[in-house]
């Protein structure tokens, strides 16, 4: 029986997954979703996507970035929050797939 390979890629992917789940929880638990840290999260995911190509689809990441900007500046925040949820769902699903080596 083998062991799970602990690589920097797996570690970073696990962090991206954990932060995605935390962002989903924070977006839907508080009344004011206009914090700056979701923008920082999406910048981290964008750097991850550029730095480690083939992991995440850049179009989904771009959608998440645009949604975070729209929410931050109050453009249909309640509606756009659901679109961002789809992008976060993709990031979480794909991160699990990368960790499980699907």
**pTM (global) more than 0.85:** yes
d(CA 27, CA 8): 28
Over residues 55-97, the pLDDT tens digits come to 899 999 999 999 999 988 888 888 898 999 999 999 999 999 9
d(CA 29, CA 26): 5
Over residues 8-52, the pLDDT tens digits come to 889 999 999 999 999 999 888 876 566 788 999 999 999 999 998
Indicate the burial class of 98 (C-beta count within 10 angstroms; 0-12, 13-18, 19 or more): buried
């Amino acid at each position: 029986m083998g062991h799970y390979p602990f690589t920097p890629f797996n570690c970073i992917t696990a962090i991206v997954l954990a932060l995605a789940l935390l962002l989903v929880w924070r977006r839907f638990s508080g009344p004011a979703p206009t914090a700056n840290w979701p923008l920082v999260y999406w910048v981290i995911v964008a750097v991850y996507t550029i730095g480690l190509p083939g992991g995440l689809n850049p179009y989904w990441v771009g959608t998440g970035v645009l949604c975070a900007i729209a929410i931050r500046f109050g453009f249909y925040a309640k509606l756009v929050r659901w679109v961002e949820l789809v992008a976060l769902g993709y990031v979480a699903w794909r991160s699990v797939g990368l960790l499980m080596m699907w």
